[in-house]
Amino acid sequence: MKNLHDKLASRGAVSLSDEELLALIIESGSDSRDPKVVASNILATHGSLHGAIHQELNRLRMTEGLGLRRAERLVVAAELGRRVAICNSAVVDKISTDADVVRLMRAQMDSLAHEECWVLYLTSSNRIIERQRVSQGGVQATVVDYRLIVKRALELLATQLILVHNHPSGAAEPSDADKALTKRVKEAAALFDIKLLDHVIISKEGDYSFRRAHLL
């Protein structure tokens, strides 16, 4: 492992492969098992680094050679990374494209096992006034009251808004219910000269923008 520590010290963490990063995280002086072998087992068992860090603790600990304590270390490291990503996303204060929306919200939504719907309230120059969760539900659906969305926009004097929700159980393509919600919010907001700029759906398989798909 000394060569990995030397590499980290001389070239930085960005130079390390996924396997090397895992090996350094799970390294333990009280365990004789080779961390690089265990790291290789983690990636082989769960398919990728992404697949590994999204595993439940009880499943992750069953990976050959890992065990509870080192699995806990990985889960904690993944959660730390998620929280840092959320902090970094807060730096975004202006929305120019749907990619900005995904960058802002993915860390918030990627680990959710249920659906949540959020609204970004914007000024006429696309600066974020507020981002607010307006509903949360089950694995496949959430109920959104479009009247409350418009009410909050009026309270904030927002002139534009963007809907964002996640699909935790499948692809990012919109359901009929998603399309109906988009239509209702757009029509209700238009009564008060508020524009629905986009509805963005985020899933582990990708993302979907109603504006990008020319549905808005």
pLDDT in tens, 139-187: 555 678 889 999 999 999 999 999 999 998 778 999 999 999 999 999 9
Last-in-domain residue among 57, 87, 117:
87
Starting at the edge strand that comes first in sequence, how are the strands of the sheet with 195-203 ordered? 128-136, 116-122, 160-167, 195-203, 206-209
Could you tell me the CATH number of the domain that includes residue 56?
A: 1.10.150
- Percent of the chain's residues with pLDDT above 90: 40
Q: What count of other Cβ atoms lies within 10 Å of the Cβ of residue 188?
A: 17
Could you tell me the CATH number of the domain that includes residue 103?
A: 3.40.140.10
Out of 78-92, 125-139, 174-188, give the one with best mean pLDDT.
Answer: 174-188
Are 115 and 56 contained in the same domain?
no
Q: Is 0.85 surpassed by the pTM of this model?
A: no
Last-in-domain residue among 70, 87, 104:
87
Domain count, the chain: 2
pLDDT band of residue 3 (cuts 50, 70, 90) is confident
Q: What is the pLDDT of residues 188-203, one digit of tens each?
A: 999 999 999 999 999 9
Are 103 and 74 contained in the same domain?
no
Q: What's the rounded Cα separation, in Å, for the pair 174 and 42?
A: 33
Are 100 and 78 contained in the same domain?
no
Residue of 154, 163, 161, 151 whose CA lies nearest to 117? 163
- 214 located within any domain: no
Q: What's the confidence (pLDDT) of residue 90?
A: 58
Are 122 and 140 contained in the same domain?
yes
- Percent of the chain's residues with pLDDT above 70: 94
Question: Which comes out higher in pLDDT, residue 87 or 73?
Answer: 73
Q: What count of other Cβ atoms lies within 10 Å of the Cβ of residue 48?
A: 11
Are 101 and 187 contained in the same domain?
yes
- 216 located within any domain: no
Lowest model confidence (mean pLDDT) among 48-62, 86-100, 160-174: 86-100
Are 26 and 122 contained in the same domain?
no
Residue of 130, 91, 138, 90 whose CA lies nearest to 112? 138
47 is in which domain, residue-wise? 2-87
- 34 located within any domain: yes
Contact 162, 119 (CB under 8 A): yes
Are 101 and 37 contained in the same domain?
no
